[in-house]
């Protein structure tokens, strides 16, 4: 949402449905560097920005910027500190219902120092804080269903340790939370983080049977399934991406797996042919920061799913949302109204 725009009253939007975004809420401090230094060397910070990041925060903010007309709500855990107040204020200013954000006494709000070198990938230094303490008993999916929400987004798995961790029964907090959401009548959509945790595939697997949709990048799909999706030169292997998506479906994902990469996206549904959409060409000089592009893609997918659009339309606008995000300094800058994305198709 751009400065000066009227904030919609989403509290009375129940008849228009709604999306609740659950999971990571992180204060991002983004440092643009002159170059990436060797150990013991110095690099200049050319510019600094501050924003709110994390899967749930980015996606819900992008949905607001896209002009989503239904109710938007958030649920997660914050610390009782200045950063927590900043997160609450930023979301409330967009007309987002923040009642589901729990304040944990004596805890720090999660925060990240993002090191960005223009034209290169970014590096994150992360403190989990309150995010690490988010458990399924802090969230009531049935309450969101009762207030008219249709979609329950959870992100990121593998960056919410109290939800990711398997218990003695072989289940996890994430699995229980997603199961409760589906039983309440919500459509569950999940995103992962690009973690190198050796337990990645094992912990993700227990949540898959409770997912209606999984929306991830090619790296996350590969780590969740053990499939190498790129060759040694870095070339994307389309057949391997399809195999990874099929393995996620076989693992229990009910309605669809959406895998996005810089080259393309692929949407796999049970008993249907995959839908492959080429990505848009992007001038590297136009990229201010790659932070949040995947979340922008995901937000557009959720918007389209909520509205019942064809897969081809959803995929096309999702790629365009990601491209617009690349031109912004923070994870949620640069996202236009959905009408603009539709006009670009």
Bridge partners of residue 186, in order along the sequence: none
For strands 187-192 and 213-217, give the pairing: parallel
CATH topology of domain 15-344: 3.40.1190
Cα(220)–Cα(218) distance, rounded to whole angstroms?
A: 6
pTM: 0.91
The alpha carbon torsion through 84, 153, 29, 284 (nearest 10 deg) reads -160
Per-residue confidence (pLDDT) for residue 27, from 0 to 100: 93
pLDDT per position in the chain (345 positions), as tens? 444 455 555 555 445 899 999 999 999 898 999 999 999 999 999 999 888 999 999 999 999 999 999 999 999 999 999 999 999 999 999 999 999 999 999 999 999 998 989 888 778 899 999 999 999 999 999 999 999 999 999 999 999 999 999 999 999 999 999 999 999 999 999 999 999 999 999 999 999 999 999 999 999 999 999 999 999 999 999 999 999 999 999 999 999 999 999 999 999 999 999 999 999 999 988 998 788 999 999 999 999 999 999 999 999 999 999 999 999 877 788 999 999 999 999
Per-residue confidence (pLDDT) for residue 122, from 0 to 100: 79
CB contact at 8 A, 129 and 107: yes
């Amino acid at each position: 949402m751009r400065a000066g725009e009227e904030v919609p009253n989403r509290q009375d939007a129940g008849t228009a449905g709604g999306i609740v975004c659950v999971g990571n809420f992180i204060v991002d401090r983004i440092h643009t560097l002159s170059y990436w230094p060797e150990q013991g060397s110095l690099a200049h910070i050319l510019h600094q920005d501050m924003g709110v990041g994390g899967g749930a925060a980015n996606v819900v903010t992008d949905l607001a910027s896209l002009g989503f007309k239904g109710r938007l709500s958030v649920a997660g855990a914050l610390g009782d500190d200045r950063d927590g107040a900043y997160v609450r204020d930023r979301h409330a200013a967009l007309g987002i219902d923040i009642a589901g954000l729990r304040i944990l006494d004596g805890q720090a709000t999660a925060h990240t120092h993002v090191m960005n070198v223009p034209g290169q990938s970014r590096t994150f230094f992360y403190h989990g804080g309150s995010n690490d303490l988010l458990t399924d008993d802090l969230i009531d999916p049935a309450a969101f269903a009762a207030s008219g929400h249709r979609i329950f987004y959870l992100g990121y798995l593998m960056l919410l340790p109290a939800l990711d961790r398997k218990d003695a029964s072989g289940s996890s907090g994430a699995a229980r939370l997603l199961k409760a959401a589906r039983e309440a009548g919500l459509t569950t959509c999940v995103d992962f983080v690009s973690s190198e945790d050796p337990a990645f595939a094992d912990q993700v697997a227990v949540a898959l049977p409770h997912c209606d949709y999984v929306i991830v990048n090619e790296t996350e799909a590969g780590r969740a399934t053990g499939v190498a999706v790129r060759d040694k030169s870095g070339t994307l292997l389309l057949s391997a991406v399809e195999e990874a998506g099929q393995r996620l479906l076989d693992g229990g994902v009910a309605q669809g797996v959406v895998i996005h990469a810089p080259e393309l996206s692929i949407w796999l549904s049970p008993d249907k042919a995959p839908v492959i959409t080429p990505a848009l060409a992007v001038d590297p000089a136009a990229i201010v920061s790659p932070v949040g592009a995947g979340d922008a893609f995901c937000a557009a997918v959720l918007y389209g799913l909520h509205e019942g659009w064809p897969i081809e339309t959803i995929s096309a606008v999702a790629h365009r949302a990601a491209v617009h995000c690349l031109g912004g300094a923070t994870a949620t800058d640069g996202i236009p109204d959905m009408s603009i994305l539709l006009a670009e198709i």
